[in-house]
Amino acid sequence: MRQFVLAANWKMNKTPVETAAFFQTFLSGFSPSPGRQTVFFVPALDITTAIGATNGRGVGIGTQNIHFKKKGAFTGENSAEAAKAAGCEWTLVGHSERRSLFGETDLITAKKMKLALECGLKPMLCVGESLDERTAGETMKVVERQLTVGLEAMTAADWASVTIAYEPVWAIGTGKVATPEQASEVHTAIRAWLERRAGAEVAAAMPILYGGSAKPENFREIASQKNIDGFLVGGASLEADSFLKFCAW
Ligand code: PGA
């Protein structure tokens, strides 16, 4: 049985003090359950606070970005090795904001995937089409290209540590959520792609998350569709009460 994964992407929000306050409220209402993983992708400067606040409470902490080189003269970048040493279990790779605002290419995501695994982090690869690409009927062409290049170096041993998040760019932070059918169609196609690429067993075990304006009011209908194994939640993960509604489902 594959895991159901609820992941919060805080982006560049919350100070360490706000992070500590969040977890105080969140953890008073949270209990871990089997078959589920709960993950917080927090800003790099909040990682230590988040790890300290959640130690032993059944949630994982991740970094939102890593550099593709292990160390060196890369001023301002996050090291995967340091994130792991600080207690992170996870990292996002290829979030659409990284791609569109910071020039992250498919080839860069491929290098980050490999380095994350080498450093013992579980990478969550984000894929998704823009509105223009969807309108042009190119959704699956784009998603398959992102998957093909981003996951090119994965070996049989790597797959168990990989997670995929489908996030249509036009739905991120816009309040415009994909319909359950739109999400399910792409998730089903991603699983079919995985089956071709890595075999039926890997495809069946891979959690594929939906992200893009997921809210307490709209996620249940999406969650009940085929091939949807969790959510990557931005705006609606910033308030403990709101994110707890996802976790309590
Ligand atoms: P959103 O962000 O839930 O605020 O749309 C999702 C994301 O960017 O991961």
> Could you please report the per-residue DSSP string of 105-131?
-HHHHHHHHHHHHHTT-EEEEEE---H
- What is the predicted pLDDT for the residue at 178? 94
pTM: 0.97
Is 214 touching ligand 1 by the criterion CB < 6 Å?
yes
% residues pLDDT > 70 (the chain):
100
Which atom number of ligand 1 is nearest to the Cα of residue 175? 5
Of the pLDDT bands very low, low, confident and very high (cuts 50, 70, 90), residue 34 is very high
Q: For all residues of the chain together, what is the average pLDDT? A: 97
Of the pLDDT bands very low, low, confident and very high (cuts 50, 70, 90), residue 43 is very high
Of the pLDDT bands very low, low, confident and very high (cuts 50, 70, 90), residue 234 is very high
Which atom number of ligand 1 is nearest to the Cα of residue 96? 8
Centre of ligand 1 from the C-alpha of residue 67, in Å: 22
For 85-126, what is each residue's pLDDT tens digit?
999 999 999 999 999 999 999 999 999 999 999 999 999 999
Is 232 touching ligand 1 by the criterion CB < 6 Å?
yes
Of the pLDDT bands very low, low, confident and very high (cuts 50, 70, 90), residue 238 is very high
Is 234 touching ligand 1 by the criterion CB < 6 Å?
yes
Residue nearest to atom 3 of ligand 1 (CA): 234
Residue nearest to atom 1 of ligand 1 (CA): 234
Centre of ligand 1 from the C-alpha of residue 43, in Å: 14
> Could you please report the per-residue DSSP string of 163-222?
EEEE--GGGTTTS-PPPHHHHHHHHHHHHHHHHHHH-HHHHHH--EEEESS--TTTHHHH
pLDDT at 1 over 90: no
Please state, in angstroms and rounded to a whole number, the distance separating the CA atoms of residues 102 and 138. 23
Of the pLDDT bands very low, low, confident and very high (cuts 50, 70, 90), residue 70 is very high
For 185-229, what is each residue's pLDDT tens digit?
999 999 999 999 999 999 999 999 999 999 999 999 999 999 999
Q: Can you read off the two tokens belonging to residue 27?
A: 């953890």
Centre of ligand 1 from the C-alpha of residue 209, in Å: 12
pLDDT at 26 over 80: yes
pLDDT at 77 over 80: yes
For the annotated catalytic residues, the residue numbers are: 95, 167
